[in-house]
Chains A and B, each alone.
Chain A
Amino acid sequence: MARGDAAERDSAFGFGGTWREYAPIAFTNLLLTIVTLGIYSFWARARTRRYLWSRTRFIDDRLEWTGTGLELFLGYLLAIVLFFVPLGIIQFVLQGVVLRGHPGAAILGAAILYIGLLYLVGVAIFRALRYRLSRTFWHGIRGGSDEQGFGYAGQYLWRTLVGTLALGLMIPWSMTTLWNRRWNAMSFGPLRFQAQADWRNVFGRFLLFYLWPIVLFIGLGAIGVMGLTAGGATPTGGGGVAIVLLGLLFVSIFYGLLGVIALAFYAAYFREGVGTLTLGGLQFGFTARTKDFILLFLGNVALVLVTLGIGYIFVPYRNWAFFIRHLEAYGEVVLEELTQSTTREPGQGEGLLDAFDVGAF
């Protein structure tokens, strides 16, 4: 890729994949996933990762993904047995409770169910990160964690619940402290990751969520006042249409800009998270600005729309390339000291995470 060659050479991380190389993988994955009624999707994901990792360079050598489709498949089956089956039975029972005329008991049951689910989401996020690190090799050395994720899930549960208190003002605090908890439990070879993300550095961005409606209402109020004085106070048929159009415009601007604010916050959060992450003598960094995130997002949307959905198969490629091209590392790695990880290798993949459909990073 010609883009940013000079910058790429200086960066510790580089991505050398191409669309044309990836296309046969993406299309055969799609074909096999369809004819196996979705079962191949686990092998497809393993194949995609194998390709993306193998085209990712760190300092002098490529990364290697050793996870297999079978692991992901077993993880998924396990999630079904441990999670979907009980969930289905509980829903069945709750429905029966409602129809027997005890909606109060059903609401109580649903609340307990929700808390249990939130706990499991915490387990899933932790284990997916651990699984991915344990299957990522560099110079024959892998990452991992000695923890199972149950402690983290407890933290995730209460911090997420507390984070929504005070009108959600504590969400930056819960997100950054959970980032730190999660990464501080991870290691690569004999080295521990250390994360020191600080919520105060992303809080300003988060306040945009609160500022934005105020700005909008003041602006709209001003427009409304101007419209009334210009058009006189007599409402006409045309005025009704204008009000509807204005309403539509208002809603689309409101949600469009809310999305942009969400991306702006996420960009700041991710830069803070990666930027405070260290591993031994390495300091990581992430260079993507809000604009880059927006371009990635719009690019993905356009790709999917223009290709009537087929372009969806290239989204993982685009996301990974974006991630690696903006990932930086400074400092040095002492190869002699980088010995094999002694953490336990998890036997299966990200089943629970698949079940909840949330991201690991």
Chain B
Amino acid sequence: METRAWLYDGQTALPRTGVLIDEGDRFRLEDARGGAGPFAWADLLPPHADAGVASYGLRGVPGWRLGFPDPPPAAIAAKLPRGQTYGRWIDRFGLWPAALVLALVASAVVWGVLQTPALVARLVPASAERRLGELMVGDFGRNGCRRPEGQAALQALVRRVAPTERDLEVHVVAVPMVNAVTLPGGRIVIFSGLLKAAKSPDEVAGVLGHEIGHVRNRDVTEALVRQLGLSVLLGGLDGNVAGYTSALLSTAYSRSAETEADRYSQQLLRQAAVSPAATADFFRRLGGGAAKGRTERLLSYVASHPVSRDRAQAFDASATRGATHRPALDATQWQALRTICAGQSEKWDFRF
């Protein structure tokens, strides 16, 4: 059996045209330049379906190409390897079955990556989490505001809100932002701007309860694990797409963690007989007027925190009817807490 064929030998750019002669397991090319081969049929590499004209490579010889000017006879065509389209695995199953199976696997993987951080975070021992915190943020917060009266008031507030909590570490730093953060390792840092913006110790108590909720729920570790998982999972996607997807997915989880922490705070306030109405007021003031509230609601799907008005309502609703409330701190303590940073400038010092 023989047929017309062309060949590039991968050594020179000269094309060779001649007759391909089939010799069972092998074949050779006869041309004007003394022929080529024999080559084993089994060494032929499959052509690519997208390439238009089918041509075959030879295992181990880069640049070697064999092709046929006319469709080869059936006996020879049967010995040629089948063409590849999507890749070896997907070609074997067919595009649609492969896509379906892959889609199922992908959904399972995404679900797993989103769910496991909560489990993993709870498996991380508290001591390891604390060491990770030291590694990441050093002694941030510890060298914050230290006026003794203020510190005593802060301790009193912590004991009042969470009397059963043992190793809580709460600090105030002189940063003019209305915020409080929970760092890895369960360290809570309150910014002095928040103390300034708060109208009563009850408001600070609500925020503190919220941060204690984050510590209890291991939210920071969970977020770290989730971020790591998502960045590995989405690594193959285009940079921007991966970034947006990851941000969207993690903020969705962050919102539910915030709601959960709010609920924890409400529970602590109830047990401590501190009025949640003050915290509700605080969130309402943060949310601003109706117009700002609308914008906030529009953006709520991309925000890391729930809408302020919803949070305020939840705090209001958590109040037990007829319960008697006591202020979280007395007037002297509150004054001491508000001036815990007195004499400290609200700026970062710059040192090597």
Contacts and interface: CB of A to CB of B under 8 A. Distances in A.
Contacts of A102: 351-352
Interface stretch (B24-32, B98-106, B150-158, B316-324): B98-106
Nearest to B64: A140
B167 interface: no
A77 B13 CA distance: 35
A140 B10 contact: yes
Interface size on A, as a range, is 35 or more
B8 interface: yes
A28 B95 contact: yes
Contact of A139 (B15, B57, B106, B351): B15
Interface stretch (B204-212, B228-236, B326-334): B228-236
B110 interface: yes
Contacts, number: 139
Contact of B13 (A50, A103, A140): A140
A142 interface: yes
Contact of A36 (B9, B106, B238): B106
Contacts of A47: 50, 86
B102 A36 contact: yes
B242 interface: yes
B87 A39 contact: no
Nearest to B228: A88
B239 to A, nearest CB: 6
Contact of B63 (A28, A34, A97, A140): A140
Nearest to B239: A357
Interface stretch (B130-138, B254-262, B265-273): B130-138
Interface stretch (A6-14, A111-119, A336-344): A336-344
A32 to B, nearest CB: 6
A28 B15 CA distance: 35
B140 A99 contact: yes
Interface of A: 25, 28, 31-43, 47, 50-51, 54-55, 61-62, 64, 66, 69, 76, 80, 92, 95-97, 99-105, 137-142, 189, 333, 335-336, 338-340, 345, 357
5 contacts: A31-B99, A37-B109, A43-B87, A51-B50, A54-B48
Interface of B: 8-15, 48, 50-53, 55, 57, 62-65, 86-87, 90, 95, 98-99, 102-103, 106, 109-110, 135-140, 143, 233-239, 242, 348-352
Given A99-B140, A141-B12, A336-B14, 17 more contacts: A32-B95, A32-B99, A36-B102, A51-B50, A54-B52, A61-B15, A66-B62, A101-B349, A101-B351, A102-B352, A103-B351, A104-B352, A137-B65, A340-B11, A340-B12, A340-B62, A357-B239
